Amino acid sequence: MADPFLSIQSVRKSFGNVAVVKDFNLDVDRGEFVSFLGPSGCGKTTMLRMVAGFEQPTSGTIKIGGKDVTYLKPNQRKVGMVFQAYALFPNLTVAQNIGFGLRVAGKPRAEIEARVKEMLGIIKLPDFGARYPYQLSGGQQQRIALARALAPSPALLLLDEPLSALDAKVRISLREEIRSIQKRLGITTIFVTHDQEEALSMSDRIVVMNEGRADQTGTPFEIYNKPTTRFVANFVGTLNVLKGTVVNAANGQVKIGDDTVMLDSDLGGRKAGDSVSLALRPEAVSLGRNDLRETSVAATISEVHFLGSVIRVRAKVGDNSVSLDTFNDPSAPPPSAGSAAEISFARRDLMVLDD
């Protein structure tokens, strides 16, 4: 493998005696788009700020392009950063905002003007140069912030929850736009978010963070389908957790509600009578019998939420509550709360969780 472009090695950060980043390791390839995903307070911003140079690690090393930058100032690292919101200079025009970094670097006026024009084209706001931030929507402001970060041609682009203050539609269109600009420029990018859908849809790889640690690093497919910790399984996607009781450990029989089902997975040394927690993704569950899903159990519909193209159903299986999605079918009414039903799933989709 080629040398990583960004390398974060054994980084720790404490404020006073509180450790907020604990032994963080990550190698990022040139041109890669990596997200830090985790709940509020898990240390995402702190880790990003150490990469940017706004904070120094308590210990560990950060390298960019093979060079140790751990103790360099932000302006010595060639990084561009975009923050959550309202970070434009309100008293400067759009063009002055975008050209800010180049002006600080003492670039000639003609070069700044040309670059600002180019950046306005890239973010598809060619005629917005003379406006002031207050004359822009939130989504437009974030595109300007992106252009401002990219104008000095940084080696690394750092984005800290840049979409979280925007409304849903704008957020989704900006996801695609950021990703396509990032790919076009081939710029190595770290994107911080607490929104799993954002991370799953945009990233080459995701680092799921939990209390200052990188719990799991992998592609969106790996993180979603093969979570290695219970935290990741819970945080990424909606997870149904079913409590069962082992009936026969040797052949994987477990009782869930009133039914006994067979598992493919190993019961990890559990014996008959032991309890076991099983995870099941909503999309792995069908309402009624399903030819592809060999196992079915009795359930009672408890909630029905009509969301348009999708109907989200909650069903009770014994004491367990199972969430599942079914597509709207205009020719068939949705199930009603309180009715009896069966739900089905494939054995291999039941994941045994560590307790």
Ligand X SMILES: Nc1ncnc2c1ncn2[C@@H]1O[C@H](COP(=O)(O)OP(=O)(O)O)[C@@H](O)[C@H]1O
| 45 counts as binding Mg ion under rule CB under 5 A | yes
| 20 counts as binding ligand X under rule CB under 6 A | yes
Cβ–Cβ under 8 Å, residues 296 and 262: no
Cβ–Cβ under 8 Å, residues 298 and 342: yes
| 142 counts as binding ligand X under rule CB under 6 A | no
Write down the least CB distance from residue 79 to Mg ion, Å. Answer: 17
265, two tokens: 């997975």
**Pairing verdict, β 18-28 and 67-68:** unpaired
Within 63-82, the residues that bind ligand X by CB under 6 A are none
| 35 counts as binding Mg ion under rule CB under 5 A | no
Region near Mg ion per CB under 5 A, out of 41-49, 136-144, 276-284, 309-317: 41-49
Which residue number places its CB atom closest to Mg ion?
A: 45
For 328, phi then psi, to 5°, come to -65, 135
Judged by CB under 5 A, the number of residues near Mg ion is: 1
- The contact pattern for ligand X, residues 117-136, with x = CB under 6 A and - = no contact, is --------------------
Within 221-240, the residues that bind ligand X by CB under 6 A are none
Judged by CB under 6 A, the number of residues near ligand X is: 10
Q: Select the binding partner of residue 43 from ligand X, Mg ion, none (C-beta < 5 to 8 A, by kind).
A: ligand X
For the chain, the helix, strand and coil percentages under 3-state DSSP, each to the nearest 5: 25, 35, 40
Distance CA 42, CA 53 (A): 19
Write down the least CB distance from residue 210 to ligand X, Å. Answer: 10
For 260, phi then psi, to 5°, come to -105, 130
Distance of CA 294 to the CA centre of its chain: 32
Q: Which is nearer to ligand X, 81 or 116 (CB)?
A: 81
What Å distances lie between residue 247 and 31, 256, 343, CA to CA?
51, 10, 21
| 89 counts as binding ligand X under rule CB under 6 A | no
Write down the least CB distance from residue 156 to ligand X, Å. Answer: 18
Q: Select the binding partner of residue 46 from Mg ion, ligand X, none (C-beta < 5 to 8 A, by kind).
A: ligand X
What Å distances lie between residue 355 and 210, 222, 264, 268, 277, CA to CA?
17, 22, 18, 11, 7
Q: Which is nearer to ligand X, 20 or 200 (CB)?
A: 20
Q: Select the binding partner of residue 133 from Mg ion, ligand X, none (C-beta < 5 to 8 A, by kind).
A: none
Cβ–Cβ under 8 Å, residues 64 and 50: no
Task: Count CB-CB contacts under 10 A for residue 73.
Answer: 9
- The contact pattern for ligand X, residues 25-64, with x = CB under 6 A and - = no contact, is -------------x-xxxxxxx------------------
Helices (H), 203-338: 220-225, 230-235
Q: Which amino acid is at 249?
A: A
Q: Which is nearer to Mg ion, 161 or 325 (CB)?
A: 161
Distance CA 144, CA 124 (A): 10
Q: Which is nearer to ligand X, 38 or 101 (CB)?
A: 38
Contact residues for ligand X, defined by CB under 6 A: 15, 20, 38, 40-46
Contact residues for Mg ion, defined by CB under 5 A: 45
